[in-house]
Amino acid sequence: MRGLFLERGSLSLRDDLPEPVAPPGWSTVAVRRAGICATDQALARGYMGFCGVPGHEFVGEALDGPLRGRRVVGEINAGCGECERCRGGDSRHCATRTVLGIAGLGGAFAERIVLPDRNLLPVPDEVDDVAATFTEPLAAALHIADDVGAVAGREVLVAGDGKLGLLCALALAAGGARVTVAGRHPERAGLLPDDVSFRTGLLEDGAAPGSDRARFDLAVEATGSPQALPRLLPLVRPRGTIVLKTTTEAPTVVDLSGLVVDEQRLLGSRCGRFDVALSALARGAVAVAPLVAASYPLAEGAAAFARAAERGVLKVLLTFD
């Protein structure tokens, strides 16, 4: 089997990868398209000491199992299925879970993968393959509403204008929030609805909150930078909420005294519900196709990773014949 293999920070195309074997209750999926995200790029730089096939944003065709012959996407956390959390429907926090392309489970930058049957969802006919590859990150963006409740009418700051930051802004705007994006690429304002504001310099070195001090009800950290959180806190109102959507490769150092004085809430937020994301894609509620910068065949995976790492490049996809 062909796939991209990461070892000691080196990426190579291999054609001798072992075929994944689906245990009982799991399905084999032939990958059709897969997206390169910031986590994949961090793994390629040595994050978590990863060794194996990365990739977790994908659409494919089920080769066996209950959805055989259907286009599918798959939730990336494979729980044990037996613990209290799994029985309660929350395999995302199973203590012994494996994670597709991240922890203990071969990823989607290979021709075939395996996932539990319960993780797979059929892709609606209205959603093409390109849009379907965004199901996982869009689910993470839409999950903010699960964390904080209704966002309609709330003043929201999204920190970061990368792939996830833009998806968060699109998801929040679709939910009726008044969104401001703090970014570094003003040309990306054109990818957002007209009623979303775009600001540069707001979170840069030496920036003072000024009139933005304590303005926002909710802030979303989607930069992946350890410097972002300390700069966000003064911009959020007392009893406001800061949602952390990204992990950072370096530790974040922050004075939390203001968090206590202003009684702010700091929430970690990770994976979301795929059914909600597929529904939003099927309705056309969130336009994701403009976020695609390029597509490469699997055989050009190294070039795809290099392109994805270029400054200012958004989503790069891998295609499978």
- In tens, the pLDDT along 288-312 reads 999 999 999 999 999 999 999 998 8
The CA distance from 168 to 138, in Å, is 8
**Percentage with pLDDT > 90 across the chain:** 83
Scanning the structure block, which residue is given the tokens 């209205």?
126
List the domain boundaries for the chain.
Answer: 3-134+288-319, 141-268
pLDDT at residue 296, as a whole number: 98
pLDDT at residue 212, as a whole number: 86
Q: What's the first-to-final CA gap in the chain, in angstroms?
A: 13
Residue with the larger pLDDT of the pair 9 and 154: 154
pLDDT at residue 232, as a whole number: 93
pLDDT at residue 214, as a whole number: 85
Decide: 180 and 154 in contact? Cβ < 8 Å: no
Q: Give residue-wise pLDDT tens across range 204-258.
A: 887 878 888 889 999 999 998 889 999 999 999 999 999 999 888 788 889 999 8
pLDDT at residue 137, as a whole number: 96
pLDDT at residue 278, as a whole number: 98
Please give the mean pLDDT across all residues of the chain. 94
Question: Is the pLDDT confidence value at 27 over 90?
Answer: yes
pLDDT at residue 190, as a whole number: 95
Give the residue-averaged pLDDT of 145-150. 93
Q: Strand locations in the chain, DSSP E?
A: 3-7, 10-14, 26-36, 57-62, 71-74, 77-78, 98-100, 104-105, 112-116, 120-122, 155-159, 178-183, 197-200, 216-221, 236-244, 265-268, 292-297, 315-319
Tokens of 175: 């939910």
Question: Is the pLDDT confidence value at 170 over 90?
Answer: yes
Amino acid at 13: L
Question: Is the pLDDT confidence value at 37 over 90?
Answer: yes
Q: Give residue-wise pLDDT tens across range 79-103.
A: 998 999 999 888 889 999 999 999 9
pLDDT at residue 63, as a whole number: 98
Q: Give residue-wise pLDDT tens across range 267-279.
A: 999 999 999 999 9
Q: What fold is seen in the domain 141-268?
A: Rossmann fold (3.40.50)
Element (H, E) at 10: strand 10-14
pLDDT at residue 178, as a whole number: 97
Q: What fold is seen in the domain 3-134+288-319?
A: Quinone Oxidoreductase; Chain A, domain 1 (3.90.180)
Q: Give residue-wise pLDDT tens across range 60-83.
A: 999 999 999 999 999 999 999 899
pLDDT at residue 321, as a whole number: 79
